[in-house]
Amino acid sequence: MSQIEEKIELFLKNPSAEEESFWDSGALVWVDWKDFDESIVEYFNDYLLEEDKINVELVKNDKPRCVDIFLIKDEVKKAVPYDVERTDRDTTLKAVQDFIAPKYQIRWYMDSLGGDTLAFCLLPTEKWLRLEKEYGEEKVTYYFAPLLHDSVMFEMDIDEIFDLLEKRKQSVH
């Protein structure tokens, strides 16, 4: 079992007792709303095995966003599918998730909801499935939400954030 998996498991055993220490445990990948998108890839590279690390290529363009970002590994090169106007953290995170799937999953640590810096965890998919089997899918996804194609993280408006915080408060685990 990896150290990150151990820290997540310790948290899942007793979330209220472990929450404060989990924030500083090194298991979380912190992404700020103003981070450069290429930096986000590097943050996750720190948690990937050497053979799974992603290279990044920036290519200037004439679009309002001024740049295309490509994710590269082995013979695969994929553009991050940004809107014409700008790059954004949500699209970058989902593109990295798609690029490393199915081997790995990035999950949003939901207790970071509401801040301008959000926390994520990266584990091999098989480890997430083991945790879900042991602690229940509902509990694991309550604290560690999978990134889906329609996931909204940094692009939520304040009302959506408060609604989600209220729903989470009503379904405490």
Model confidence at 10: pLDDT above 70: yes
CA distance 84 to 66: 9
Strand partners, 70: 57, 79
At residue 173, the pLDDT reads 59
**The pLDDT of residue 79:** 97
Range of the domain at 150: 3-170
Confidence of residue 143 (pLDDT cuts 50, 70, 90): very high
Q: Any idea which residue has 């007793």 for tokens?
A: 14
Mean pLDDT for all residues in the chain: 93
**H-state helical runs in the chain:** 3-13, 15-23, 37-45, 89-100, 125-135, 137-143, 158-170
How many domains in the chain? 1
pTM of the model: 0.92
Residue with tokens 């090194």: 26
Whether 71 shows a pLDDT value over 90: the answer reads yes
Q: What pLDDT is stored for residue 58 in this prediction? A: 96
